[in-house]
Amino acid sequence: MSKKLLFIIGILSFCITAGVYWYYLSEPSTLPKKEELKNRINRVYSDTEVVSIQDTILLDSRHLYVPFISKNNDYGSSFWVWKKRKWEIEALNDVGQPILWKIDNKDPSSYRIVWNIHPEDQFKAAEFYLSRDRGYEITNGIEFYYPKVQLNKEFTLSEKSYRIKKLPRNWASIIQSTNNIHNPDRMSILDGDNAEHSLLIAWKPVFDKKNGDDIFSKRSISGGGFSNGGDYDIISLVEEHQLENQQ
């Protein structure tokens, strides 16, 4: 009798494990149809109406980027994640300003810069900056000096309005090492604002000099959106006062 019981328990636990695995960990075999994506965005987000899905780009087996065009001719971004055997829309921005998608927020090498710049904005490249303000602290005789971080990386725009870029390898290392030495205990003792010492990513458009800046319509940078879960940072325009001499 007990052998039979053991056998049943064995079968049951195998089924449960397999079921849990299938439900939570299995990978998608197909991408949703564009028509379906369009309908689903329009169902969950009423501020805009998607008229066309431009593309579906898999970042890895579970993360999907879907750029779209809406009724009032805005170029937007939507972010999809495979969860519990379904493609869920995790975040959306109704204009295509650059967004930092932290796919695994503990691992900066998984971070992606994603944008969908409106074709009216005809600048030739987007320049991204990694920066941190210089700072110093003296607490109970313990001195700290934080060097200024200021790096830039230019990505030329292609004929497609949307693009996905990895962070440069050294940026990912710098972010990782900053996270490693971050000590919330020590920071809380100080009255200084610890955001001051944190790294920031910002960007600015790069124009062909002869045409001036009249082609920056800015329609790519002010929009609405939502996110439920995930880790997304909107990458804002760089403020010139944050930049130092670069020779």
Partner 1 sequence: MLVINFYFVNHFPSVLMDIIAFIIIAILANRIYKNQEEKPKIWKVLLILFIGLFAFSFTLPVYDTFVKIPILPLGVWILYFVFRNKVEKWMMYRRFAWLGFLANFIFLVAAFASFPIEEALYPQDKLSTYIARTDQANIFALHTSAKEATLKKGVLNKQLSEMQPEPIDSQRWYNDIVNIDVPQEERKEKFPFQIMGTEPRWGSALKTAIFVERDGKGLLITTQKKQYYFRSNESLVKGVE
Q: Considering beta carbons, is residue 30 or 245 the nearer one to partner 1?
A: 245
Q: Considering beta carbons, is residue 124 or 134 the nearer one to partner 1?
A: 134
Please choose, from the candidates 9, 29, 28, the residue with its C-alpha nearest in 3D space to the C-alpha of residue 17. Answer: 9
Q: Considering beta carbons, is residue 165 or 186 the nearer one to partner 1?
A: 186
Alpha-helical (H) ranges within the chain are: 2-20, 34-44, 169-181, 184-189
For the CB of residue 141, give the shortest distance to partner 1 in the complex, in Å.
10
Burial of 110 from C-beta contacts in 10 A (0-12 / 13-18 / 19+): middle
Q: Residue length, the chain?
A: 247
3-class secondary-structure state, position 37: helix
For the CB of residue 146, give the shortest distance to partner 1 in the complex, in Å.
8
For the CB of residue 187, give the shortest distance to partner 1 in the complex, in Å.
10
Q: Considering beta carbons, is residue 184 or 212 the nearer one to partner 1?
A: 184
* Contact footprint for partner 1 (CB under 8 A): 134-138, 142-145, 147-152, 170, 173-174, 177-178, 180-183, 186, 244-247
193-208 burial, b at 16+ Cβ within 10 Å, e below that, comes to eeeebebbbbbbbebe
For the CB of residue 166, give the shortest distance to partner 1 in the complex, in Å.
16
Q: Are 233 and 201 in contact (CB under 8 A)?
A: yes
